[in-house]
Amino acid sequence: MAGASEGATRRGFLKTAGAALVGAAATERAALATSGVSAESHVATLFGTLTPEQRRVVAFSWNHQDPGRGLLRTFVANNWRITRPSVDSDFFTLDQKDLIRAIFESLYNPEWVPRVDAQLADDAGAWGRHQSIAIFGTPGEERFELVMTGRHLTIRCDGNSTEHVAFGGPIFYGHAADGFYEGPKHPGNVYWPQAIEANRVFEMLDGAQREKALVARRPREQAVAFREPGSLPGIGIAELSADQKTQMQKTLASLLEPYRAVDRAEVRACLDARGGLDRCSLAFFEAHDTGDDGVWDNWRLEGPSFVWYFRGSPHVHVWVNVASDPSVATNSG
């Protein structure tokens, strides 16, 4: 009996000690992510820790070409791994995993990190489980970029070394919170409030404006290459009244809110360089209106070198491509 008691006591101690270690590790990760160090500095630190074997797998030249994806650095898709090892695999050390987590958190508005974690829990089981990374170029030299991918995730960190492009290139985000086929109100979807803001613009339009804004069919979701301003569907933002434009600015702020301040500023700078929102059009797509409720699940804000395409049916996919130069090409799959 004494032995059993001692065994139970030891198991309890080990469980408590294990929990303490996990808690300590979480505290260290939180401290690393909130240290005020930029995502780019964390990328440089991570790069310096990679072994030659690791670099062969996740580090590439700036213009590395992939046989199936072309220029790998600029590729974007709704569900993919840019390299084979997942972030939570044994390929990376614990310290490297902490650095990758710090990079991830540093790319977002701190208030949004728990929401993105919730999205990744729904879509991938947990952060790190189905995400992978690649580093292009050499941090500390002229140009470099880290790309992190997974299901409903493509984000980038380039220290503004990619000229004329916001976010370092096209990005993607999404969420399937209520099953693959979400209901009309998209319960639990962390990105649906963005659509609510856009639909508030539609609610403010008069009859003639709504006729312009409504488009029968939505384009392919991957179609985010820049187009000539005269060919943009929907209603021109320049045609809106002052109060409608104010709501349009609120919609833009909602789109930018998840990201860190430097990326928000870069998007606005790119947009301003091409004439601002007044050079953009807003289109709502009648097809695939979930629940036929007139709350448009699919819509697109588009300008000369700006595409923010919100495809909300059957669940949320959002494709983003922003630059200050319309000659910049996209690479999506």
- pLDDT in the model for residue 265: 96
pLDDT for the residue 293: 97
- Strands 298-303 and 281-285, bridge-based pairing: antiparallel
pLDDT band of 332, cuts 50, 70, 90: confident
Residue with more model confidence, 131 or 11: 131
Give yes or no for a contact between 55 and 137, defined as CB atoms under 8 angstroms apart: no
User: Residue 137: its pLDDT value, please?
Assistant: 95
| pLDDT at residue 6 in the model | 42
Flag whether pLDDT at 232 surpasses 60. yes
Indicate the pLDDT class of residue 43, thresholds 50, 70 and 90: very high
Residue 200 has a pLDDT of: 98
| Structure confidence by residue, pLDDT tens digits, 183-200 | 999 999 999 999 999 999
Structure tokens at 330: 């996209």
Q: Which two tokens stand for residue 233?
A: 């569907």
pLDDT digit string (tens) for 264-289? 999 999 999 999 999 999 999 999 99
* pLDDT score at 230: 80
- pLDDT score of 12 more than 90: no
- Per-residue pLDDT, averaged over 188-213, amounts to 98
pLDDT above 60 for 2? no
Domain positions in the chain are 1-33, 37-162, 192-332
Model confidence band, residue 261 (pLDDT cutoffs 50, 70, 90): very high
In angstroms, rounded to a whole number, what is the distance separating the alpha carbons of residues 12 and 210? 65
Q: How far is CA 37 from CA 31, 32, 40, in A?
A: 10, 8, 8
DSSP letters for 138-206: -TTSS-EEEEEEEBTEEEEE-TT-STTBGGGS-EEEEE-BTBSS--TT-TT-TTHHHHHHHHHHHHH--
**Confidence band, pLDDT 50/70/90 cuts, at residue 32:** low
Average pLDDT estimate for 242-259 = 98
CA–CA distance, 77 with 150 (Å, rounded to integer): 9
Q: What is the mean pLDDT of residues 217-236?
A: 91
Strands of the chain, DSSP E: 59-60, 65-66, 70-71, 75-76, 132-137, 144-150, 153-157, 171-175, 214-215, 235-236, 281-285, 298-303, 306-311, 316-322, 331-332
Task: Name the pTM for this structure.
Answer: 0.88
Mean per-residue pLDDT over the chain, rounded: 90
Residue 198 in contact with residue 126, Cβ under 8 Å?
A: no
Pick from 241, 167, 247, 163: nearest CA to 199: 247
Tens digit of each residue's pLDDT (9 = 90 or more) over 127-163: 999 999 999 999 988 799 999 999 999 999 998 778 8
Please give the pLDDT value at position 26: 45
pLDDT of residue 331: 84
